[in-house]
Amino acid sequence: MAPKTVLIVYAHQSARSFNSAAKDVAVEAFTQQGYKVIVSDLYAMNFKATATTEDITGGVKNPEEFKYGEETMQAWMEGRLSDDIIAEHRKLEEAELVIFQFPMYWFGVPAILKGWIDRVLTQGFAFTLQTVYDNGKFKDKKAMLSFSTGAMESMFLPDGLNGDLNVTLWPLQNGVLRFCGFQVLAPQVFWCPANSPPEVRTTRLESWRARLETLLDEQPLTFASSGMFDLSFSGGFKLRPEIWEEQSTCPHGISTGHHLGKPLPPNNQLKAGDKRGDAV
């Protein structure tokens, strides 16, 4: 049997960075376990971050009113996407697990990684209007975020200066990964390595190495099932009334995003929790 494949999408400029060390640990750990490891080193690749007409070969259909999503979907269907996008598509197709390794910039990902998301998760290839969330294109694959912060952990608590990290991660973990169908594993957060002593950084890397030994056996994060919603234009793609009623006695909302005006479920975006979202 062919070895399982792990894709690491890595976004840091320096080979001496903590993120580079975390990436190297993952490469070593998975290689030792017999996996094939592919690394997309975005800065080394000089990966283009901007989504433009250059992503399509042979010209666009409507240059006067260019619509990137529609044009790239058509180009994907016709085999006319640029070579760099096609290469990343092939890596994604092969991978059972995708790890995004990056430093958190401005509560999100670096621009070069955002460009990878914008360009590589092409409509048609990564999703359609019919194949999202539970029925997403990548529902048989796992993905996770592994990142460093510039702030200490207490600053990202619900009562911390930066606010709840669960809220910060919702757009990436639900709006990107889960939207495309991925089973989303709990993130690996490296708190403020730049201001941590060497022994603390070493300990964190060793904890990461230990986690990698059983990473693919972990339970994914819980998200609200698509079956909980009226998936029609007439129903507005909103939570079904009987689900509202069922949730009325629960002390917390269903998820960080679907909080129903209630307190957010603790650590919904940080740890695998109960399976209420999969009950329907």
* 76 Cβ contact partners less than 8 Å away, ≥ 6 residues apart: 122, 123, 124, 125
Q: Give the C-alpha separation, 69 to 125, whole Å.
A: 11
**pLDDT exceeds 50 at position 277:** no
Lowest mean per-residue pLDDT among 21-25, 52-56, 93-97, 236-240: 236-240
Model confidence pLDDT, tens digit, residues 23-36: 999 999 999 999 99
pLDDT band with cut points at 50, 70 and 90 for residue 194: confident
Distance, in Å, from the CA atom of 78 to the CA atom of 25, rounded to the nearest integer, reads: 39
Domain spans, the chain: 5-221, 222-280
Q: Which fold has domain 5-221?
A: Rossmann fold (3.40.50)
Asked if residue 192 lies in contact with residue 245, where contact means CB atoms within 8 angstroms, the answer is no
Phi/psi region, residue 59 (left: phi>0; alpha: psi -120 to 50; beta: rest), is left
How high is the mean pLDDT of the chain?
Answer: 92
Distance (Å) of CA 63 to CA 49, 59, 68, 71, 255: 21, 8, 10, 10, 41
Percent of the chain beyond pLDDT 70?
A: 96
Q: What is the dihedral of CA 247, 233, 174, 223, to 10 degrees?
A: 30
pLDDT band at 195 (very low <50, low <70, confident <90, very high): confident
Residue 37 CA to residue 3 CA, distance in Å, equals 10
Backbone φ and ψ for 205, nearest 5 degrees, come out as -65, -35
SS3 percent helix, strand, coil of the chain, rounded to 5, is: 40, 15, 50
pLDDT reading at 274 higher than 90: no
Q: Which residue has the higher pLDDT, 50 or 2?
A: 50
**pLDDT tens digits for 62-105?**
888 899 999 999 999 999 999 999 999 999 999 999 999 999 99
Q: Does residue 175 carry a pLDDT above 70?
A: yes
Name every residue whose Cβ is closer than 8 Å to that of residue 110 and which is 6 or more positions away in sequence: 11, 12, 102, 103
Degrees, nearest 5: CA angle 81-86-89: 125
Residue 166: phi, psi to the nearest 5? -60, -40
pLDDT at 280 over 50: no
Backbone angles phi, psi at 209, to 5 degrees: -60, -45
For the chain, what is the total number of helices (H) and then of strands (E)?
7, 6
Report pLDDT for 62. Answer: 87
DSSP annotation of 222 reads P
